[in-house]
Amino acid sequence: MAESDIGYMHAFQVYTGKEFGQQEKGLAYRVVMDLCRPMFGSNLCVYMDNFYTSADLLRDLHIRGIYACGTVRSNWKSLPKDLLPKQVKLQKHQYKVAQNDELTFCIWQDTKAVLVLSNFHDPLHVGQVNRRTGADQNAVEVPKQLADYQKYMKGVDTCDQMIGYYLLHHRSRKWWRRLFFYLMMVSAHNSYIIVKDVHPEVAKECWPKFQDYIEDLLEDLIGDTRANREPPKVDCGGRATEHSLEQLYVKNKVCRECSLSGVPGQRKGVTKMGCRQCNTPVHLACQSKHIMRMLQ
Ligand SMILES: [Zn+2]
Ligand SMILES: [Zn+2]
C-alpha cells in the first residue's frame, strides 16, 4: 500500500505461497482488509488492480469508512450479462456506466475493454485520460472513476519502478535474500521521499535522482568502492594543517560537519569541497569547526 502521488510505501504483506497446494480462499479480500484496517473510518480513497477488486470487498470497505475503486477482469463473474464486454459492443473510446446502491461500474473501450468498479464515484461524473491516436496525444472523455484510477495508481507504480531498477541483479535463489534486498530498497526509497520533504534544497543539489541518493547512501554504508580514488592519508597526529579543504568531489555532497551538528530544520551545507585527510565532505563555512573537532 503506497501513497498515491509520490509512492511512499506505507504497509505491505509478503505473499508466502500456496498452502497445501491450494491458494488461500479470499486472499485478495483479506490482504486489502488487513492493509486498510488501521485506516477504517478515515474516508481515505484506496485504489487497487483487478487482482483485488470485488463487489464484496468494496461494499465491506464502504461500511468501514474506506472509499475504494479498482479495475475488474473482463470475465468477472459478478458482472450482469448485459454489461459483459462481448455484449455491450462499444466503439473505441465509448463507455457505459451502471449503478447498484453505492457501487458504480463502468466499461470503457480502449484497445481492450477496461472495467472499473467504485464504491464512491458518481456514475455521471466524467474525467479525461490522454490517448495517442497516430502521432498526436488526445484527451479523451471517460467516466471519472476511470480517470481517477489512472491518476491515483501512479504512486504504487512509481514505487515498484524505482525499486525495480535496483533489483535486477539480485535474482538470488535464496528467497530471504530477495526479500532482504527488496525491503532495503523500499526503506531507501521511503527515506529518499522523506529527505526531499525535510531538506528540499539539499536534495535538489545533491540527489536530483534516486540513483544519486542510492550512491551516497551506499558510500556511507560500505565506503567508497569506486576505483582510482586515492586512499585517505594516515592521520599523522591530527595537526590542524593536515585537515585542509580542497575540491574533492565531482558531485555535490552534504557537509559532514553540518550533518553531525544537525539542528533539525536547519539548512545543511552542500559542497564539492572536502577534507582529503578524512575523505569526507566539509563545506567552507565549517572548515574551522572540522579542524577543531579533529583536534579534540
Ligand atoms: Zn579532516
Ligand atoms: Zn558545514
As beta bridge partners, residue 252 has none
> Domain ends where: 111, 133, 159?
159
Q: What count of other Cβ atoms lies within 10 Å of the Cβ of residue 121?
A: 27
Look at residue 32 and tell me if it is in a domain.
yes
Alpha-carbon 64 to chain mean position:
26
Q: Do 33 and 154 reside in the same domain of the chain?
A: yes
Q: Do 46 and 139 reside in the same domain of the chain?
A: yes
Look at residue 4 and tell me if it is in a domain.
no
Look at residue 8 and tell me if it is in a domain.
no
Q: Which ligand is nearest to the CA of 287?
A: 2
Q: Which ligand is nearest to the CA of 233?
A: 1
Q: What is the pLDDT of residue 149?
A: 96
Q: Which ligand is nearest to the CA of 277?
A: 1
> Domain ends where: 159, 183, 209?
159
Q: Do 241 and 213 reside in the same domain of the chain?
A: no
Residue 148 in this model has a pLDDT that exceeds 90: yes
Rounded distance from Cα 243 to ligand 1 centre (Å): 4
**DSSP letters spanning 220-266:** HHH----SS-PPPPPP-TT-GGGS-EEE--SS-EE-HHHHHT--TTP
Look at residue 166 and tell me if it is in a domain.
no
Q: Which ligand is nearest to the CA of 293?
A: 1
Q: Residues with beta carbon < 5 A to ion ligand 2?
A: 255, 257-258, 269, 283, 286
Q: Do 70 and 131 reside in the same domain of the chain?
A: yes
Give per-residue pLDDT as tens, 59-106. Answer: 999 999 999 999 999 888 777 777 877 788 889 999 999 999 999 999
Indicate the pLDDT class of residue 240, thresholds 50, 70 and 90: very low
Q: What is the pLDDT of residue 97?
A: 93
> Domain ends where: 102, 131, 159?
159
Q: Which ligand is nearest to the CA of 261?
A: 2
Give per-residue pLDDT as tens, 34-52. Answer: 999 999 999 999 999 999 9
Closest listed residue to residue 282, CA positions, set 232, 248, 251, 250: 248
Q: Residues with beta carbon < 5 A to ion ligand 1?
A: 243, 275, 277-278
Q: Do 85 and 191 reside in the same domain of the chain?
A: no
Host domain of residue 50: 27-159
**Predicted TM-score of the model (pTM):** 0.79
- Classified as helix, coil or strand, 20 is coil
- What is the rounded CA–CA span in Å between residue 126 and residue 107? 13
Indicate the pLDDT class of residue 225, thresholds 50, 70 and 90: low
Q: What is the pLDDT of residue 21?
A: 73
Look at residue 17 and tell me if it is in a domain.
no
Phi-psi region of 92 (alpha: psi -120 to 50; beta: other; left: phi over 0): beta
